[in-house]
Amino acid sequence: MRIIKRILMFIAGLLVILQFIRPAKNILRSDSQHDITKQFRPPPEIESILRTSCYDCHSDSTRYPWYAEVQPVGWWLNNHIHDAKQELNFSEFASYRLRRQYRKLEEMIKQVNEGEMPLPSYLIIHTDARLSQQEKDQFVAWVNAMRDTMKTSNPVDSLMRRQ
């Protein structure tokens, strides 16, 4: 029994120490000049979907839940945010090259239609970020319209590699 008690004490001690090792928060003070909303000016309902369902991971401003203060949960969240931003950061979207923007818009349609995004594990707790079928359709229609706008105002070569 003594050994079990010692192991438990050791784990408890370790957890206490872990609380002092905190990842830097992903919070930008002011809005980014390169934000996708500045480039494409979405209508309010689309901007609201982006901010509520995507920005926690795909932007420079995360709304942190209280349990992000508890390690190692905070590290785990931070990893998600890091990976998500590397693939797609809406706060930097307007600074992407046209080809990348065009491809990311296509990916957004795929991910939302297939129910891969927002991440299902995130939706368990963030129920406000869940998208109804109608919201998904609205969102996809808007993204499609943005792709069309890009197509009419840019030469195809700048958006896609020649086949």
DSSP state of 69: G
Nearer to ligand HEC, 69 or 83 (CB): 83
Which one of residues 36, 118, 142, 146 is an interface residue with ligand HEC (CB under 6 A)?
A: 118
Nearer to ligand HEC, 117 or 146 (CB): 117
Give yes or no for residue 159 binding ligand HEC (CB under 6 A). no
Give yes or no for residue 53 binding ligand HEC (CB under 6 A). yes
From residue 116, alpha-carbon distances to 3, 49, 61, 119 in Å are 45, 15, 21, 6
Q: What angle do CA 143, 144, 146 make, to 5 degrees?
A: 65
Which one of residues 78, 104, 146, 159 is an interface residue with ligand HEC (CB under 6 A)?
A: 104
Nearer to ligand HEC, 112 or 146 (CB): 112
C-alpha 80/C-alpha 3 separation (Å) is 37
Cβ 36 vs Cβ 101: under 8 Å? no
Give yes or no for residue 147 binding ligand HEC (CB under 6 A). no
Smallest gap from Cβ 101 to ligand HEC, in A, equals 11
CA 62 to chain centre: 9
Cβ 122 vs Cβ 57: under 8 Å? yes
Nearer to ligand HEC, 4 or 116 (CB): 116
Cβ 90 vs Cβ 55: under 8 Å? yes
DSSP state of 159: H
Which one of residues 72, 122, 140, 145 is an interface residue with ligand HEC (CB under 6 A)?
A: 122
Which one of residues 68, 117, 146, 159 is an interface residue with ligand HEC (CB under 6 A)?
A: 117
The dihedrals phi and psi of 44, each to the nearest 5 degrees, come to -50, -40
Q: Scan residues 59-88 and list those touching ligand HEC (CB under 6 A).
A: 80, 83-84, 87-88
Question: Interface with ligand HEC by CB under 6 A: which residues?
Answer: 53-54, 56-58, 80, 83-84, 87-88, 104, 107-108, 111-112, 117-119, 122
